[in-house]
Amino acid sequence: MATAVFTPTHPFSLAGRAAFVTGAARGLGLAIAQGLAEAGARVALCDVSEDVDAAIKSLRHAGHDVLACRADVRDEAALAAAFRLAVDRFGAVDVMVNNAARTPSASIWDVDGAEWDDVLAVNLRGTFFGCRIAALHMRGRGRGRIVNLASIAGQLASAAAAPHYAASKAGIVALTRAFATELAPHGVTVNAVAPSAVESPLLDQLPAERRASIAAATPLGRFGRPDEVAAAVLYLASDAAAYTTGATLDVNGGRLMR
């Protein structure tokens, strides 16, 4: 009989782990939170929106151990307080997913200073705060996983991506490497996932022509699904990814190959 490759527990299992996901009230954040819970983790869903309560209800109904935290990721103290709530409830947080973002559509001519600052504050500064809050906790424990949501918009020029959104997402790739470097000696890995267009209420609103042209430019010929992004996050959150840090995992149907 062959010796088991994975012992003693399956490396993709998150049983006994706890996770904290920002922007988890809907969309990819909710799919990621659900995926982590289905892999066995207890999950804190953090969002600025009160919709997080409905998300919690449906996950509890499915039998998952989840916690709702309301916080605005632009506010470091509020995010730290929400994170502490999760630590108090779960005993520790093993996995931090920085997913909250604003995804505006605008041309370079439409973005004024306030709008630039706000998108950068949510997407990039919020991710910085999330990484740092998790890093403080995980560094002390000598282990942890941080996963940041980047985007193909930060890697590839596109008229559809607003300039401040694209800049924030490119910044997340650099931030991921900076935290990965700093935290590697402490047993904490930091990686990013960069999706391209994923099926979502936001993209449902695109004109059929535009949707068709995005699909046509994608070698796999379609949009991604939220569960396919969640799967990439799950991998990076698991023991299976122990030797991966500072990486950006593309989940883009082959739209950008590198």
Ligand X SMILES: NC(=O)c1ccc[n+]([C@@H]2O[C@H](COP(=O)([O-])OP(=O)(O)OC[C@H]3O[C@@H](n4cnc5c(N)ncnc54)[C@H](O)[C@@H]3O)[C@@H](O)[C@H]2O)c1
Comparing every residue's Cβ against ligand X, the nearest one is 27
Tokens of 52: 């997080």
Name the token pair of 70.
């309301």
Q: How far apart are the first and last CA of the chain?
A: 39
The least distance separating ligand X from the CB of residue 136, rounded to whole angstroms, comes to 19
Give the whole-angstrom CA distance, residue 19 versus residue 83. Answer: 10
Q: Which is nearer to ligand X, 47 or 94 (CB)?
A: 47
Query: Closer CB to ligand X, residue 29 or residue 144?
Result: 29
Active-site residue, selected from the candidate residues 20, 165, 179, 223:
165
Residue 16 C-beta: closest distance to ligand X, Å: 27
Using CB under 6 A, list all residues that contact ligand X: 22-23, 25-29, 47-49, 72-74, 99-103, 122, 149, 151, 195, 197-198, 200, 202-203
Q: Greatest CA separation found in the chain?
A: 66
Amino acid, res. 12: F
Is 165 in the active site?
Answer: yes
> Please, which residue, 206 or 239, has the CB nearer to ligand X?
206
With H, G, I as helix, E, B as strand and everything else as coil, classify residue 189.
strand
Name residue 85's amino acid. Answer: L
- Say how far residue 191 (Cα) sits from the centre of its chain: 10
* Nearest distance in Å: CB 219, ligand X: 17
Active site residues: 165
